Amino acid sequence: MRVRVVGAGVVGLTSALCLAQAGHQVEVVAATTGNGTTSSVAAALWYPYRAYPRAEVTRWSATTYQVLRGLTADPSSGVRMRSGRELFRQRTSDPWWRDAVPELGRVAVERLPPGYVDGYELRVPVVDMAVHLPWLLGKLAAVGVVLRVGQVDDLAAAFEGVDAVVNCTGLASRRLLHDETLTPVRGQVVVVAQFGLSEWFLDQNDPRQLVYVVPRNDTVLLGGTAEEGDEGLDVQPATSAAILERCTELVPALGQARILSHRVGLRPGRPSVRLETEVTDHGPVVHCYGHGGAGVTLSYGCAEDVAALVSGLS
Ligand SMILES: Cc1cc2nc3c(=O)[nH]c(=O)nc-3n(C[C@H](O)[C@H](O)[C@H](O)COP(=O)(O)OP(=O)(O)OC[C@H]3O[C@@H](n4cnc5c(N)ncnc54)[C@H](O)[C@@H]3O)c2cc1C
């Protein structure tokens, strides 16, 4: 089939790749690419966060885990397996997404920082988005997928010359489709230069806000915030200072780290990921948006489902 994918974030690009690999003729059209996408802001730690429903999220996350682990064989993909610790201030049962990972251990008491009483210890893929998004574009070009920069104001217009449209516009589906169930969940992060950190850290229960420290190839990403309904894209200096303070409490070596940049992104929050076919007067639209704080974690799993839905149309 001839397919047009609207959107060049991680969801659009992985969908386009799976579609091309399934034998479809694919074009991607997107208003922004690379650094202009929310996907480029992601810490891109494999972790099912603020995405629903749980059963599907666990299945998509499990698939993505395996695909990303496979990509670590190619260092140019920007994907690495990294061990890390999620820390808790009270005893905690296994996470609902436990089945998505092959192994999940408990942090030994002597490895719990002060103030914490429990923790998960696990090895997961971490994706350097500054590397992976261009890598995906290179893969797409190699299999003949054309990328066009352009705004789509009405999905009906996206059908010109194609049999099916795949909608991967993330939070922008709120305006494009008047989907009022989408909510921005603002996230601000601080990017510092790598200083030899290999392990990631996460604390979702700090009463002040989220805390995460995620090492990538040349940088370490510090977060964060999850401000529901806030659409402000400007960097808030007080928020950056608070992020640095919380992260440095957890990883004291950050006190010496060189700050490179501050970034803000709006997670596409939705009560459930929308991954389904809608039959319109102009042809079939496969929607894939609303991945919340887990678009990278769900990407390849969802992309496989997108390709299966499109293949099922013919
Ligand atoms: C601070 C922060 C930290 C995060 N950390 C993680 C993490 O550790 N792990 C994880 O898995 N996820 C994380 N996320 C979430 C993740 O970034 C998102 O879930 C993901 O980026 C959503 O991808 P997407 O492709 O749907 O959307 P986007 O990246 O927003 O891409 C949407 C694309 O659609 C295009 N588009 C939109 N409207 C139109 C239109 N009308 N016409 C043409 N093109 C259009 C845009 O230009 C863009 O190319 C984080 C997010 C933030 C903000």
* 93 Cβ neighbours under 8 A, 6+ residues apart: none
pTM: 0.98
Residue 156: which CATH number?
A: 3.40.50.720
> Quick one: what percent of the chain has pLDDT higher than 90?
99
> What is the tens place of the pLDDT at every residue in 94-122?
999 999 999 999 999 999 999 999 999 99
* Atom number, ligand 1, closest to the C-alpha of residue 225: 1
Q: What is the pLDDT of residues 63-100, one digit of tens each?
A: 999 999 999 999 999 999 999 999 999 999 999 999 99
Host domain of residue 91:
2-311
Region 281-297: what's the mean pLDDT?
Answer: 98
pLDDT in tens, 136-151: 999 999 999 999 999 9
- Using a 6 Å cutoff on CB, does residue 48 contact ligand 1? no
Q: Whose CA is nearest to atom 50 of ligand 1?
A: 42
| Residue 218 identity | D
Mean pLDDT of 234-253: 97
The alpha carbon of 10 and the centre of ligand 1 are apart by a number of angstroms equal to: 7
Radius of gyration of the chain (CA): 19
> Residue 176: CB within 6 Å of ligand 1?
yes
Pocket test for ligand 1, best of 64, 267, 273 (most atoms within 8 A of CB): 267
| Confidence class for position 314, pLDDT limits 50, 70, 90 | confident
| 166-220 residue pLDDT tens | 999 999 999 999 999 999 999 999 999 999 999 999 999 998 999 999 999 999 9
pLDDT in the model for residue 182: 98
Query: How far, in Å, from the CA of 69 to the mean position of ligand 1?
Result: 21
Measured CA to CA, the distance from residue 182 to residue 178 in angstroms comes to 9
Give the total number of structural domains in the chain. Answer: 1
What confidence score (pLDDT) does residue 27 get?
98
Burial 273-295 (b: 16+ CB within 10 A, else e): bbbebeeeeeebbbbbbbbbbbb
Give yes or no for residue 37 CB within 6 A of ligand 1: yes
The H or E element containing residue 121 is strand 118-127
* Residue 297 near ligand 1, beta carbon < 6 Å: yes
Q: Which two tokens stand for residue 72?
A: 């670590």
Strand pairing partners for 184?
268
